[in-house]
Chain A
Amino acid sequence: MAHTASNPHEVPSQKSSFHRSLGEPRTLVNTGLTVLAVALSLLAMFPLFSVLYMLLVKGAALLSPSLFSQLTPGAGMEGGGIGNAIVGTLVVVLVATALALPLGFMAAVYLAEYGGETKLATIVRFCGKVLTGLPSILAGVFAYAMVVVTTGSFSAFAGGAAMAILMVPTVMLTSESALRAVPSKMKMAAFGMGATRAQVVLRIVIPTATPGILTGVMLALARAMGETAPLLFTALFSDYWFEGKLLQPIASLSVLIYNFAGSPFEHQVALAWAASLVLVTIVLVLNIIAQVATRRPEEH
């Protein structure tokens, strides 16, 4: 080429071309694997979106203010809503959080700041990991034996206790990693100013880790909220509004879905779909809040 000739510094042309060739084996393998990875990723999302689609199609029809404000209807009756179940789920989850948060959080502070790699800390961490895999029905059995049998009745408190057992390990393990993620140079700065260990933990480590801890709590909450098995023989169900009595049975969305989905009455089945939509929406919102809370905009 003329250009090459005019430039004496041009590197002599090489045999292999830099042009992309689709026929080359490595290009083919590369493209094939990329396509496969994308396809499988889409497939993994498919269940979530198909469930959401189904819920919207079947559950949205009943969405109305009365769905949220009315009590569950009896067998064969029309109208009514799922108000008591929504309130009930929130109450049970609140009780569960009140029980699980202090326990899981304090355990996490111990593991991250005091326990280190000691034997006790290792055992606690191991138990936490085992407990995350605990079948939820066993949490229900445990709460039944511990609370229902001793207090003599199914109750909101028993349901909360069962859920708390499911939440504690998640809260503990995620909080521990959030606490550990606080940079040690920050802790050293505080120690260097003459802070005691307790002051470093209370004033630096915990405030810095709070977004991460909240994420853990939200995720644990979201998971526990959808559980049915631990509530079946602890909280049971109730067709009435929650009256502030924690030692009485209480309604919940998950048990409502379980009861009504198998009902022979069409209206109850429709309510189960609507309740599912409401439950999934609450869980989704919690997850989104958890995601947003983790982001710390002030850092760069």
Chain B
Amino acid sequence: MNTQQLTAPMTDEQERSARASATLPVGRTGMAPGVVMDCRIKTLHYGNFLAVRDTDIPIVSNEITAFIGPSGCGKSTVLRSLNRMNDFVNGFRFTGSVHYRGQDIYAPQIDPVAVRRSIGMVFQQPNPFAMSIYKNVAFGLKLNNFKGDHAERVENALRGAALWDEVKDKLNTSGLSLSGGQQQRLCIARAIAVEPELLLMDEPCSALDPIATRRVEDLMLELKEKYTIAIVTHNLQQAQRVADRTAFLFVDTTAGGRTGYLIEYRPSAELFENPREERTKAYIRGEFS
């Protein structure tokens, strides 16, 4: 049943029921209610390099979960392991589990391509395809053999990404002709056109100016009504502004390497105003970055 949902292109109806089921407790893995994705990383290696260890982050439905921490703490690595993008890195090895709607996406029978179709991703650098704005957004629909009205989905996605008014008269011009901020919103539109339940965003604002950043943040707050979002950010204010929960990761250099691990994961308000751990306090006070 569940496997089918990951492999077959979803109809609207299937999608609604899938979304409804995600708010119910999922039996086998004992996930807490509301948890869409239960990430339990024991070890994550690149070759012989231990990049991340002991990081458990349950991601709750219709919330924004932020990953923060100093450079090299593995927050992007953790995010990319949630839709198996790390599979493209040579020597990637993983122990632990990542359960998405009750299925371990690292189980041997799982097709990573099917996983990525259900879990959208927005990258650090805006990366539109060298094709028209319309085709950029419709790309995922074509990929999924979406039978419905493409034009309508494209318009909705562009409206959802707060880009429609700026591009509605030039849908046939190249996506690469847009400004950086517009390109990033185009990439967000492209990701939400297929209505993924979970959207992963890897420092989506790092290449944007403050105004474009604010627009993307507002957008995230709107999107969480429909989607669940996990975001990596370097910007603590951004995490405070948008995230419901925040995970603080840190780098462990004691064993000679640089291994990231989770220090503390709590509702953002608590983490920022009343951190439990000394390291979190120090990081939030800006004592190191």
- Measuring CB to CB, which residues of chain A are less than 8 angstroms from any residue of chain B? 183, 185-186, 188-196, 199, 203-204, 207-208, 296, 298-300
- Alpha-carbon distance between A151 and B129 when the two chains are bound, in angstroms: 48
Instruction: From the candidates B88, B177, B194, name the one contacting A188 in the complex (CB within 8 A).
Output: B88
Instruction: State whether A193 touches B191 (Cβ < 8 A).
Output: yes
Given known contacts A195-B113, A203-B139, A190 and B123 CB-to-CB distance under 8 angstroms: no
Instruction: State whether B83 touches A192 (Cβ < 8 A).
Output: yes
State how many residues of chain B have any CB contact under 8 Å with chain A: 31
Given known contacts A186-B130, A189-B187, A208-B130, A194 and B116 CB-to-CB distance under 8 angstroms: yes
Residues of chain A contacted by B74 (CB below 8 angstroms) = none
- Alpha-carbon distance between A196 and B140 when the two chains are bound, in angstroms: 12
Distance (whole angstroms) from the CB of B98 to the closest CB of chain A: 16
Interface residue ranges of B99-122 to A (CB < 8 Å):
113-118, 120-121
Instruction: State whether B117 touches A194 (Cβ < 8 A).
Output: yes
Instruction: State whether A192 touches B176 (Cβ < 8 A).
Output: no
- Top-10 shortest CB links A-B: A194-B117, A298-B174, A194-B116, A192-B121, A185-B127, A189-B127, A208-B130, A193-B140, A299-B176, A194-B113
Instruction: From the candidates A190, A196, A299, name the one contacting B139 in the complex (CB within 8 A).
Output: A190
Instruction: From the candidates A195, A208, A300, name the one contacting B143 in the complex (CB within 8 A).
Output: A195
Instruction: State whether A193 touches B177 (Cβ < 8 A).
Output: no
- Alpha-carbon distance between A171 and B143 when the two chains are bound, in angstroms: 30
- Alpha-carbon distance between A186 and B139 when the two chains are bound, in angstroms: 12
Residues of chain B contacted by A190 (CB below 8 angstroms) = 129, 139
Given contact pairs A194-B118, A299-B174, a sample of 12 additional A-B residue pairs in the complex whose CB atoms are under 8 Å apart: A183-B127, A185-B125, A189-B123, A192-B85, A192-B120, A193-B121, A193-B139, A193-B191, A193-B194, A207-B130, A298-B130, A299-B130
- 9 A-B pairs with CB atoms under 8 Å apart are A183-B127, A185-B125, A186-B128, A188-B127, A189-B187, A192-B83, A195-B113, A203-B142, A300-B177
Instruction: From the candidates B128, B176, B190, name the one contacting A193 in the complex (CB within 8 A).
Output: B190
**Nearest opposing residue in chain B for A182, CB measure:** B130
Q: Any chain A CB within 8 A of the CB of B219?
A: no
Residues of chain B contacted by A298 (CB below 8 angstroms) = 130, 173-174, 176-177
Q: Contact string, B139-183, partner A, CB cutoff 8 A, digits 1/0? A: 110111000000000000000000000000000011011000000
**Nearest opposing residue in chain A for B112, CB measure:** A194
**Nearest opposing residue in chain B for A211, CB measure:** B130
Residues of chain A contacted by B144 (CB below 8 angstroms) = 194
**Nearest opposing residue in chain A for B124, CB measure:** A185
Residues of chain A contacted by B139 (CB below 8 angstroms) = 190, 193, 203
Q: Any chain A CB within 8 A of the CB of B131?
A: yes
- Alpha-carbon distance between A155 and B232 when the two chains are bound, in angstroms: 65
- Alpha-carbon distance between A47 and B120 when the two chains are bound, in angstroms: 58
**Nearest opposing residue in chain B for A189, CB measure:** B127
- Alpha-carbon distance between A296 and B115 when the two chains are bound, in angstroms: 35
- Alpha-carbon distance between A236 and B129 when the two chains are bound, in angstroms: 48
Determine which residue in A186, A188, A194 has the highest number of CB atoms from chain B within 10 A of its CB, and name it.
Answer: A194
**Nearest opposing residue in chain A for B126, CB measure:** A185
Distance (whole angstroms) from the CB of A232 to the closest CB of chain B: 44
- Alpha-carbon distance between A203 and B115 when the two chains are bound, in angstroms: 20
Distance (whole angstroms) from the CB of A202 to the closest CB of chain B: 11
**Nearest opposing residue in chain A for B88, CB measure:** A191
Instruction: State whether A191 touches B85 (Cβ < 8 A).
Output: yes
**Nearest opposing residue in chain B for A298, CB measure:** B174
Instruction: State whether A193 touches B143 (Cβ < 8 A).
Output: yes
- Alpha-carbon distance between A207 and B139 when the two chains are bound, in angstroms: 13
**Nearest opposing residue in chain B for A195, CB measure:** B143
Instruction: State whether B113 touches A196 (Cβ < 8 A).
Output: yes
Distance (whole angstroms) from the CB of B74 to the closest CB of chain A: 18
Instruction: State whether B85 touches A188 (Cβ < 8 A).
Output: yes
Residues of chain B contacted by A299 (CB below 8 angstroms) = 130, 174, 176
Residues of chain B contacted by A194 (CB below 8 angstroms) = 113-118, 140, 143-144
**Nearest opposing residue in chain A for B131, CB measure:** A207
Residues of chain A contacted by B114 (CB below 8 angstroms) = 194
Q: Contact string, B228-254, partner A, CB cutoff 8 A, digits 1/0? A: 000000000000000000000000000
- Alpha-carbon distance between A38 and B113 when the two chains are bound, in angstroms: 56
- Alpha-carbon distance between A296 and B143 when the two chains are bound, in angstroms: 26
Residues of chain B contacted by A196 (CB below 8 angstroms) = 113
Residues of chain A contacted by B117 (CB below 8 angstroms) = 193-194
Residues of chain A contacted by B142 (CB below 8 angstroms) = 203
Residues of chain B contacted by A185 (CB below 8 angstroms) = 123, 125, 127
Instruction: State whether B129 touches A192 (Cβ < 8 A).
Output: no
Distance (whole angstroms) from the CB of A112 to the closest CB of chain B: 16
Residues of chain A contacted by B176 (CB below 8 angstroms) = 298-300
**Nearest opposing residue in chain B for A193, CB measure:** B140
Residues of chain B contacted by A188 (CB below 8 angstroms) = 85, 88, 123, 127
**Nearest opposing residue in chain A for B87, CB measure:** A191
Distance (whole angstroms) from the CB of B47 to the closest CB of chain A: 17
Distance (whole angstroms) from the CB of B7 to the closest CB of chain A: 10
**Nearest opposing residue in chain A for B114, CB measure:** A194
Instruction: State whether B143 touches A199 (Cβ < 8 A).
Output: yes
